[in-house]
Structure 1
Amino acid sequence: MSTGKRLGRLFETAPRIPFSNKSKIVLFSDCHRGDGGAADNFAKNQNIYFHALNYYYENGFAYFELGDGEELWENKSLISIMDNYRNIYRLFSRFYRKKRLHLLYGNHDIEKKRKSKAKCFDKGFCSRENRMLPLCPGIKFHEALVLRHRESQSEILLVHGHQADCFNYCFWRLSRFLVRYFWKPLETI
């Protein structure tokens, strides 16, 4: 299938999210949160990201993450990533409870489209209370969303963009293998 057809199909089938002139929306992409190890490129940015995310939460923004939130090509375990950045996922939970969290998957976290991976977002460990607490139970990860402007009915397609690259869309398993077993070790040198 051609790129145009793939994107057209996504545009036609994506859930619509209404917004107005008064809506507050922030779009993030490619955070690549990792496990905190030497190859975790997000680690150096975690504090500024957390404070920005908190600002957007406190000021009533809807948060859209347009894929590759987690680095699942270099890391096998989503749980280890979530455990490493508990404070961020707790904040995601607050956005979720207010219906202001919208997550897309990209090529590096495409596995989140599987229910078994998505279930990792149902609960998270709270060390303060020493127990599991609800995070984002039942959250859906989308390949695409469409923002629909209430006043004009104009629409904006939100995608990660890997759909336009056959290597990352069709052959993502090969790409993941190469990144996990060749690129990640090189990053730590």
Structure 2
Amino acid sequence: MKDVYRSLDNLIKECPQRSLQNGDRYVIMSDLHMGDGGSRDDLAHNRALIVKALHYYYAQGYTLILNGDIEDVQKFKYAQILTAWRDLFKIFNDFAQDNRFIKIVGNHDIALLHDTDYPYPLHHGYSFVKGNDRLFVFHGHQASKLFSEYDYISEFVVKFMAKPFHIKNGNVAHHSKRRFAVEKRIYRYAQDRKVIAIIGHTHRPLFESLSKYDSLRWSIEDLIREYALASGERREQIRITLTVYKAELERLEKQKLKEKISRSLYQASPLLVPCLFNSGCATGKKGLTCLEVSAERISLEYWTPRGQAKSYIHEEALRQENYEDFQKYTLKEDDLGHVFLRISLLGSES
């Protein structure tokens, strides 16, 4: 852990920093894994969805933060990606021309740092400061011993094994124990340094250090407590919601995901410190996730083609926006000041 702390301390000192001002609005996306547009392109099936989502955020005045693994230059040549995704690069250009574009590298696109013709400034991380509080955005591979110490091995595996054998990135991200170890290291770092860490890399959405499995489990416990005090129509609503949540947890277990998903990042302590967030990815089978951040609030958003959201999403979502051919769900949301207060009170003592 000392090497990880040293690496992240250096990163947070060296990366650009800006003040988080009232009225600022950011959308953070990661892990697009843009390819050649073919069958091995992890983003191809979500092409229409991400284009429409980005048009939405551009029109709403958001600044776009792309937090690593955007162009998958470990599996494809940049020229192939550029040709296949001209519509997406056009939107990137629109954000950039308005000075509303921040691009951070991940382990799959870090080689772009050596491309002298690449059109956008590239960063290893980015900090946002609000008073004495700090929000630290970086891809997350920096906490992996494999990538930080033996990055050439990772590049070799992807180029000469994953690419020829048509191995997709999503499978590696969701099932690797090393990815969970990365989350745990970053959680401990953010807890000790009392900062909000926003990452990508693992493809697993996290909000206030909770995974989907943990979040559903906590929601069930809260609903059971409410059920005991409720009556009439409200009790019936709770019963229906519990049935939906229970079915989703059982689905995760049947897919043998429980071991990877349910292990808490904070298992060494009875207290949850809400210091770790993950924007997830844009390569989900039925949609994409992202984080929206302002000086006042932070939220986890889910975009999906209209009519494809699972039933538990309808129950879990705080808000739903319906458009002609897609839907946007606010899954989690909190007051940013309240999050920082909890980190300050619950984080490790200096």
TM-score range, shorter chain: 0.7 to 0.9
Q: Which moves more between the two structures, 10-19 or 42-51? A: 10-19
Given the alignment of the two structures, is residue 96 of structure 1 paired with residue 77 of structure 2, yes or no? Answer: no
CA offsets 1:110-153 (integer angstroms, 9 cap, x no match):
1122242xx132xxxxxxxxxxxxxxxxx31000110122xx24
1:179–1:64 CA distance, 2 compared to 1 (3 A): same
Match of residue 118, structure 2, among 120, 124, 137: 120
Give a deviation string over 1:49-107, Cα, whole Å, max 9, x none: 110011000100000011000111111x2121011100110111110011100000000
Paired with 1:100 and 1:153, the residues of 2 have a C-alpha distance of: 24
- Write the distance in 2 (CA, Å) between the matches of 1:59 and 1:2: 41
What is the alpha-carbon distance in structure 2 between the residues aligned to residue 188 and residue 39 of structure 1? 8
Q: Which amino acid aligns with 1:89?
A: F
| Contact 2:112 2:118 (C-alpha < 8 Å) held by counterparts | no
TM-score, normalisation: structure 2:
0.46
**Cα distance change on mapping 1:98 and 1:153 into 2, 3 Å:** farther
**Of the two, which has the highest radius of gyration?**
2
Task: Flag structure 1 segments of 5+ consecutive residues without an equivalent.
Answer: 122-138
CA separation of 1:108 and 1:71: change in aligned 2, threshold 3 A: same
- TM-score (norm. length: structure 1): 0.83
Match of 2:27?
A: 26
Letter in 1 for 2:127: V
Structure-2 change in CA distance of 1:188 and 1:171 (3 Å): closer
Note the residue ranges of structure 2 that are not aligned, 5 or more in a row.
169-350
Matches within 5 A, 1:168-187: 168-187=147-166
1:13-162 matched pairs, under 5 angstroms: 13-75=14-76, 77-116=77-116, 119-121=117-119, 139-149=120-130, 152-162=131-141
Offset, 1:20: 1.8
Number of aligned residues: 167
Higher-RCO chain (CA-CA 8 Å, sequence separation at least 6):
1
Residue 63 of structure 1 aligns to a residue whose secondary structure is strand
**2:31 is aligned with what amino acid?**
D
Partner of 1:134: none
Contact 1:15 1:145 in 2 (8 A): yes
The structure 2 residue matched to 1:165, chosen from 127, 135, 144, is: 144
Percent identical among aligned pairs is 27
DSSP-derived class of the 1:141 partner: coil
Q: What root-mean-square deviation, in Å, do the aligned CA atoms of Structure 1 and Structure 2 show?
A: 1.7
Distance in 2, matches of 1:67 and 1:188, equals 20
